[in-house]
Chains A and B, each alone.
Chain A
Amino acid sequence: GQQVMQIPQYQHVQEGEDFTTYCNSSTTLSNIQWYKQRPGGHPVFLIQLVKSGEVKKQKRLTFQFGEAKKNSSLHITATQTTDVGTYFCALRRGGAQKLVFGQGTRLTINP
């Protein structure tokens, strides 16, 4: 089956520090999506990346799709307490319908 590895599993930072989570696939991807789940909440869509080498920004969040379309990263600059939550990548291999979610990276922040 499709292997998805998301690292790290946990990350604790001081407010104002940067944060990065990585998602790696064993197979070439059709696209990748990122979701954020606040504590006690439900996953909320952040972005979808489709093109090789694509970089997209949303304010302090930067999303990258690898050149080989096998990995992706989410980088948050100068974290704020509102960034607390678990960040999931979700992968779709070409031709496959269903999404496969990574295990998530749980971000906690010391104010």
Chain B
Amino acid sequence: KAGVTQTPRYLIKTRGQQVTLSCSPISGHRSVSWYQQTPGQGLQFLFEYFSETQRNKGNFPGRFSGRQFSNSRSEMNVSTLELGDSALYLCASSLEGEGVGELFFGEGSRLTVL
């Protein structure tokens, strides 16, 4: 069974640009969550999607958005990038949803904003 796949793995952007990250969950998993990981703030919850609906949202500005498609694949978008958005963005999938069962994390997309 293939794991969670995230693309791209690495990317460099400049301030003001926007970025789209993609996540393909494990086959059969309907829940996809996104996290931002930085050395100073640890793992911060961005949002969770379940069956194409955003079920939970973290405390991030509206520049951070996401969506989930009918095949459970998910994308997250960050607009008007700021230097502080440099981070590892992790996607995690699960069968039922956050906190109910284990999360399976992807390798992450490392974003650098210059």
Determine chain A's interface SS by DSSP, over half rule: strand
Instruction: State whether A97 touches B104 (Cβ < 8 A).
Output: no
Given contacts A30-B99, A41-B107, A99-B98, 18 further A-B contacts (CB under 8 A): A31-B99, A33-B102, A42-B106, A42-B108, A45-B104, A88-B43, A90-B99, A92-B98, A96-B99, A97-B48, A97-B98, A98-B48, A99-B33, A99-B45, A99-B103, A101-B35, A101-B42, A104-B43
A109 at the A/B interface (Cβ < 8 Å)? no
How many B residues have CB within 8 A of the partner chain? 22
Q: How far is the CB of B87 from chain A (nearest CB, A)?
A: 13
Q: State whether A97 touches B43 (Cβ < 8 A).
A: no
Taking CB atoms and an 8 Å cut-off, the chain A residues in 73-103 that contact chain B are: 88, 90, 92, 96-103
B23 at the interface (CB under 8 A from A): no
Residue of B nearest to A9 (CB): B42
Interface status of A20 (Cβ within 8 A of chain B): no
Contact of B99 among A43, A44, A92 (CB under 8 A): A92
Within 8 A of A (CB), among B24-60: 33, 35, 42-43, 45, 48, 55-56, 58
B97 at the A interface (CB under 8 A)? yes
What interface size band does chain A fall in?
20 to 34
**How long is the Cα–Cα vector from A42 to B101 in the complex, in angstroms?**
17
Are A42 and B107 in contact, with the CB atoms below 8 A? yes
B55 touching A97 by the CB < 8 A rule? yes
**CA A90 – CA B92 in complex, angstroms?**
13
Question: Within residues 55 to 111 of chain B, which ones have a CB less than 8 A from any CB in chain A?
Answer: 55-56, 58, 90, 92, 97-99, 101-108
Contact of A44 among B43, B45, B48, B105 (CB under 8 A): B105
A42 pairs with B99, CB closer than 8 A: no
- Whether the Cβ atoms of A104 and B42 lie closer than 8 Å is yes
**A25 in the interface, Cβ–Cβ < 8 Å?**
no
Docked Cα-Cα span, A64 to B92, in Å, equals 25
- Contact check: which of B42, B90, B99, B108 meets A99 at CB < 8 Å? B99
**Is residue A48 contacting chain B, with contact meaning CB distance below 8 A?**
yes
CA distance A101 to B97 in the complex (A): 15
- CA of A44 to CA of B105, assembled, Å: 7
